[in-house]
Structure 1
Amino acid sequence: MRVLAAMSGGVDSAVAAARAAEAGHDVTGVHLALSPSPASFRAGARGCCTVEDARDARRAADVIGIPFYVWDLAERFAADVVEDFVQEYAAGRTPNPCLRCNEKIKFAAVLDRALALGFDAVCTGHYAQIVDGPAGRELHRAVDPGRDQSYVLGVLDERQVAHAMFPLGGSLKSEVRAEAERRGLAVADKPDSHDICFIADGDTAGFLARRLGDAPGEIVDTAGEVVGTHGGSFGFTVGQRRGLRIGRPAPDGRPRYVLDISPVTNRVVVGAAEELDVHAVRGSRPRWSGPAPDGEIECLAQVRAHGEPVPAVAGVGEDGTLTVRLRTPVRGVAPGQAVVVYDGTRVVGSATIDATSRAATV
């Protein structure tokens, strides 16, 4: 097969490309330039898409012995990922930019261009597995549970799964680093990227404030009593405890958490931890990694990248929305997050959460 290997400049994508080439595929490496003005160097494990990353990717391609190119997708990334991130926070939601990047950039813009150029598959360093099932290719969890990235790939549809390649899904991270060293790849000890790649300093609230400006408002309790003020509701997420800057404790002395964010009233509602328990979620824009389910299904549901999956019942309504009833409540679920539905280790599909409920229905 002709394979386009997305090479970020890190160890995972380098080893993935090397494995694809060693398996006999005709591999071409490509580095995605996602920043209009990339920094020269990374700040430790923060950020990505620097000039240093591009050079690391090129050196890895040279060692592997494959052609290498840089594709400028900065404008598309800014519109589909960065601007979406800002607008979602402005609307009081909590987005996951990694899912949006996989959906809109790596497996839409890149895959579409790759197929148009005659490639058969896009290869990445994600930790997930593609398995041939009775109804076609299936997306499954990785062998290493600590590295599994199937959640952020849950936005891939059936066509995208059919053209995806994840060579690292059956390996442990320690094995990948050891292999990189054996292959002579200089990125063998390079730190992994963490946090949001386009916010290199890790200050999400500051990034949003620069984009959205000051918007002072009130912090209130569930009875509507004002307990504090804020500089912008976009600086909060449901479930947040730290950084609330509430001048006085709750009457019972217990910590308070963000329960709700209203961009219309610019109010942040806080309350007790148990009020964060969610028993059901409703999601829009369902995306199915294989055939869509027929009727309600028993499943496992996961609502954050590093969260634990819980038993659930999922079904699609007449309006096309996905409703997931959680048999075990999950704490601190926010609109804007994704719910990913699994059948065992197989990814069934995902949806963007629009509403949550403390009852079994939404």
Structure 2
Amino acid sequence: MRVLAAMSGGVDSAVAAARAVEAGHDVVGVHLALSAKPGTLRTGARGCCTIEDAHDARRAADILGIPFYVWDFAERFTEEVVETFVGEYAAGRTPNPCVTCNEKIKFEALLDKAMALGFDAVCTGHYARLEVVDGRPQLRRSADEGKDQSYVLASLRPEQLRHAMFPLGGSRKSDVRAEAAERGLAVAEKPDSHDICFIPDGDTRKFLESRLGESPGDLVDAETGAVLGRHTGVHGFTVGQRKGLGIDKPAPDGRPRYVLSLEPVSGTVKVGSANRLEVTRIDGERPIWPSGCPLEGPTECVVQVRAHGGTARAVAEAADGEVTVRLREPLSGVAPGQVAVLYRDEGEAGDLVLGSARIAATA
């Protein structure tokens, strides 16, 4: 099988490519240039997709003895990921750019080009398991619970998963690093990137202000309606946020305040106590069913609303292009714009991805 290995310059994608080669596939490595002006060096785990990363990917491909190319996807990445990210924050929502990147770049733009060039599959270093049962793809959690990335892949459609390979799904990260060292890959001990790749300094508020400017508004107590202060833009906040609110006086009960809701039209940021963050219902829009099987009637499941954490048992129901999720126990800090991923209910945590939807509202 002809396989295009997406090589980020990190240890995971390098080992995934090595395993594809070892499995006997005809493998070609490709590094995606996602920035028109990439930094020359990263700082520890800050950022990715730098010139240094491209060099690391090329060195890994050389050791594996496979052809290697750099493809310029900077314009597409800016349009699909960066501008979407900025626009969602301006609208008072909290997006996950990694979900968007996987959906629109790695498994749409990249996969489309790979298929046009005659490749059969795209191989990545994601930690998720992929099986085919009765001709249908099934996306499952990784064997390494701490590294599981099924959440950020749950927006992929069946036709995309049919041409995807995740060789690391059954492995633990420590074993992957050990394997990289045994193979002589210099990236064996390279730090993982934990930040939004296009905000390498980690300062999301500063990045958004540089794009959106200032749009002052009021910080309002959700219970009393009292104005507690001013802010420079709703894009500087997200539901559940506690720090950086800019409120001088404490709450009457002395407890911390949290962001409860954002109103971009009026510029109002409502704040209140932690208990007001709890929700028991999630309304989702634009559902995607990775296996091609929509929910049939009320379905017991586990819902996850953040890439790491934020899970609860629930009952989900789909109708008319929307999903209603009723939680069996409340969740806190659930923000519109996030993605709700539904897993088959198997007790404490689900395993099989049933579907995903963008969170439109909560109650």
Normalised by the length of structure 1, the TM-score is 0.97
Partner of 2:307: 305
Following superposition, the deviation at residue 45 of structure 1 comes to 0.6
User: What one-letter code is carried by the residue in structure 1 that aligns with 2:174?
Assistant: S
Contact 2:138 2:290 in 1 (8 A): yes
Partner of 2:31: 31
Q: Report the Cα distance in structure 2 between the residues aligned to 1:324 and 1:73, rounded to whole angstroms.
A: 36
Partner of 2:272: 271
Alignment pair present for 1:243 and 2:244:
yes
Per-residue displacement from partner, 1:305-339 (whole Å, max 9, x unpaired)?
00143111111123x11111111111010000000
Alignment pair present for 1:225 and 2:231:
no
Alignment pair present for 1:51 and 2:51:
yes
Partner of 2:82: 82
Partner of 2:347: none
Partner of 1:110: 110
Q: Report the Cα distance in structure 1 between the residues aligned to 2:255 and 2:46, rounded to whole angstroms.
A: 34
Partner of 2:129: 129
Partner of 1:295: 297
SS at match of 2:167: coil
Q: Report the Cα distance in structure 1 between the residues aligned to 2:151 and 2:173, rounded to whole angstroms.
A: 17
User: What one-letter code is carried by the residue in structure 2 that aligns with 1:66?
Assistant: I
Partner of 1:352: 358
Contact 2:310 2:331 in 1 (8 A): no
SS at match of 1:159: helix
Following superposition, the deviation at residue 232 of structure 1 comes to 1.1
Following superposition, the deviation at residue 147 of structure 1 comes to 0.4
Q: Report the Cα distance in structure 2 between the residues aligned to 1:132 and 1:285, rounded to whole angstroms.
A: 24
Q: 1:168 to 1:5 in 2, by over 3 A?
A: same
State how 1:63-102 maps to structure 2 within 5 Å: 63-102=63-102
Partner of 2:255: 254
Q: Report the Cα distance in structure 2 between the residues aligned to 1:305 and 1:35, rounded to whole angstroms.
A: 24
Per-residue displacement from partner, 1:70-97 (whole Å, max 9, x unpaired)?
1100000000000000000000000000
Q: Report the Cα distance in structure 1 between the residues aligned to 2:195 and 2:330, rounded to whole angstroms.
A: 26
Following superposition, the deviation at residue 49 of structure 1 comes to 1.1
Q: Report the Cα distance in structure 2 between the residues aligned to 1:346 and 1:71, rounded to whole angstroms.
A: 33
User: What one-letter code is carried by the residue in structure 1 that aligns with 2:48?
Assistant: C
Following superposition, the deviation at residue 19 of structure 1 comes to 0.4
Contact 2:47 2:198 in 1 (8 A): yes
Following superposition, the deviation at residue 132 of structure 1 comes to 2.4
SS at match of 2:42: coil
Q: Report the Cα distance in structure 1 between the residues aligned to 2:265 and 2:13, rounded to whole angstroms.
A: 42
Partner of 2:42: 42
Moved more, 99-108 or 128-137: 128-137
Following superposition, the deviation at residue 293 of structure 1 comes to 1.8
SS at match of 1:146: helix
Per-residue displacement from partner, 1:105-129 (whole Å, max 9, x unpaired)?
0000001111111111110000000
SS at match of 1:58: helix
Q: Report the Cα distance in structure 2 between the residues aligned to 1:292 and 1:125, rounded to whole angstroms.
A: 28
Partner of 1:314: 316
SS at match of 1:155: coil
Partner of 2:158: 158
Q: Report the Cα distance in structure 2 between the residues aligned to 1:136 and 1:336, rounded to whole angstroms.
A: 29
Q: Report the Cα distance in structure 1 between the residues aligned to 2:312 and 2:252, rounded to whole angstroms.
A: 33
Following superposition, the deviation at residue 156 of structure 1 comes to 0.6
Partner of 1:360: none
User: What one-letter code is carried by the residue in structure 2 that aligns with 1:36?
Assistant: A
Q: Report the Cα distance in structure 1 between the residues aligned to 2:158 and 2:59, rounded to whole angstroms.
A: 34
Partner of 1:175: 175
Q: Which runs of 5+ in 1 are unaligned?
A: 358-362
Per-residue displacement from partner, 1:42-61 (whole Å, max 9, x unpaired)?
12111111111000000000
User: What one-letter code is carried by the residue in structure 2 that aligns with 1:141?
Assistant: R
Q: Report the Cα distance in structure 2 between the residues aligned to 1:130 and 1:112, rounded to whole angstroms.
A: 20
Following superposition, the deviation at residue 135 of structure 1 comes to 4.9
Q: Report the Cα distance in structure 2 between the residues aligned to 1:195 and 1:268, rounded to whole angstroms.
A: 25
Q: Report the Cα distance in structure 2 between the residues aligned to 1:323 and 1:129, rounded to whole angstroms.
A: 27
Q: Report the Cα distance in structure 2 between the residues aligned to 1:135 and 1:56, rounded to whole angstroms.
A: 37
Alignment pair present for 1:203 and 2:182:
no
